[in-house]
């Protein structure tokens, strides 16, 4: 059965692969993008591009209304937003810290709250998948802001799972490791090689691998999974 799916940050990387994964399953898929413009390939495949700055509450509300008008109330939300402003803590400004939290954590609260409201109203359950990071589990020098934001998603998601489970809504958290995206491409090659050296599987992840896990958690087969933290990281966070 086709569902109404909203994927945050679907223009590239993990989000882009996730849009394609849900389209291949026959769902109605909308994805947000910012001022850089929507990927025309996804629109060609049938996905609905929605312009939205998720740090703006009014734009979030407008985005949900646009999606609801086109494909019905959101039944699956994938909160995939993520930015970095890497610096050692002693060099990190308050703006560097709060901007990352605003985009990665506070905006996810805003999105999940709006999606939960419509899911409860519809009385047909729903799926919320929050995209965190292996860094939330193991830490990373120079990423106190990013790690705090992504670790916050774990506590937020598990608490929300307890609140809405009786409504048939599941909430799960995916923690990707280093993945072949623009974020990884911005790292020095020496640093990428260092990280890969710590990965038991000895390679970088592919966006399609993260997307497949997200799509599974949104499926009927995963209907008894909620509050889970699912690492897709080649084993780098093992033991955390």
Provide the pLDDT for residue 235.
96
Strands 76-79 and 4-7, sheet pairing: parallel
Average pLDDT, the chain: 94
Round to whole Å and give the CA distance between 119 and 87.
39
Candidate from 30-44, 116-130, 132-146 with smallest mean pLDDT: 30-44
- Calculate mean pLDDT across residues 128-146: 96
Strands 126-131 and 229-232, sheet pairing: unpaired
179 forms bridges with which residues in the sheet? Answer: 205
Round to whole Å and give the CA distance between 230 and 49.
28
Q: Which of 44, 109, 146, 224 is labelled catalytic?
A: 146
Provide the pLDDT for residue 175.
98
Provide the pLDDT for residue 186.
79
pLDDT at 228 over 80: yes
pLDDT-derived band at 161 (thresholds 50, 70, 90) equals: very high
Q: What percent of the chain has a predicted confidence (pLDDT) above 90? A: 85
Provide the pLDDT for residue 45.
82
Burial (0-12, 13-18, 19+ Cβ within 10 Å), 202:
exposed
Instruction: From 7, 207, 11, 185, select the one nearest 84 (Cα to Cα).
Output: 185
In Å, what is the CA distance from 161 to each residue of 121, 205, 216, 219, 225?
17, 27, 17, 16, 10
Q: Confirm whether 44 is a catalytic residue.
A: no
CATH of domain 4-177+207-232: 3.40.50.720
Round to whole Å and give the CA distance between 69 and 92.
42
pLDDT tens digit string along 38-89?
777 787 789 999 999 999 999 999 999 999 999 999 999 999 988 999 999 9
Query: Tokens 């609801």, residue?
Result: 68
Domain ranges in the chain are: 4-177+207-232
pLDDT at 118 over 90: yes
Candidate from 42-46, 90-94, 122-126, 175-179 with smallest mean pLDDT: 42-46
pLDDT-derived band at 36 (thresholds 50, 70, 90) equals: low
What count of other Cβ atoms lies within 10 Å of the Cβ of residue 158?
Answer: 17
130 forms bridges with which residues in the sheet? Answer: 79, 173
Candidate from 34-43, 54-63, 142-151, 203-212 with smallest mean pLDDT: 34-43
Provide the pLDDT for residue 239.
84
């Amino acid at each position: 059965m086709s569902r109404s799916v909203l994927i945050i940050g679907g223009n590239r990387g993990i989000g882009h692969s996730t849009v394609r994964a849900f389209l291949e399953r026959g769902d109605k898929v909308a994805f947000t993008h910012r001022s850089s413009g929507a990927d025309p390939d996804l629109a060609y495949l049938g996905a609905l591009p929605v312009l939205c700055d998720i740090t703006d509450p009014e734009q979030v509300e407008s985005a949900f209304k646009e999606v609801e008008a086109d494909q019905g109330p959101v039944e699956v939300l994938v909160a995939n937003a993520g930015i970095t402003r890497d610096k050692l803590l002693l060099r990190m400004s308050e703006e560097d810290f709060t901007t990352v939290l605003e985009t990665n954590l506070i905006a996810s609260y805003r999105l999940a709250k709006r999606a939960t409201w419509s899911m409860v109203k519809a009385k047909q359950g729903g799926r919320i998948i929050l995209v965190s990071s292996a860094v939330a589990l193991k830490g990373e020098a120079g990423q106190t802001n990013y790690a705090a934001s992504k670790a916050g998603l774990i506590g937020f998601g598990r608490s929300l799972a307890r609140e809405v489970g009786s409504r048939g809504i599941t909430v799960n958290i995916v923690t990707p490791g280093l993945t072949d995206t623009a974020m990884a491409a911005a790292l020095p090659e020496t640093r990428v090689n260092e990280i890969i050296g710590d990965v038991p599987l000895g390679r970088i992840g592919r966006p399609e691998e993260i997307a497949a896990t997200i799509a599974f958690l949104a499926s009927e087969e995963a209907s008894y999974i909620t509050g889970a933290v699912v690492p897709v990281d080649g084993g780098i966070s093992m033991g955390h």
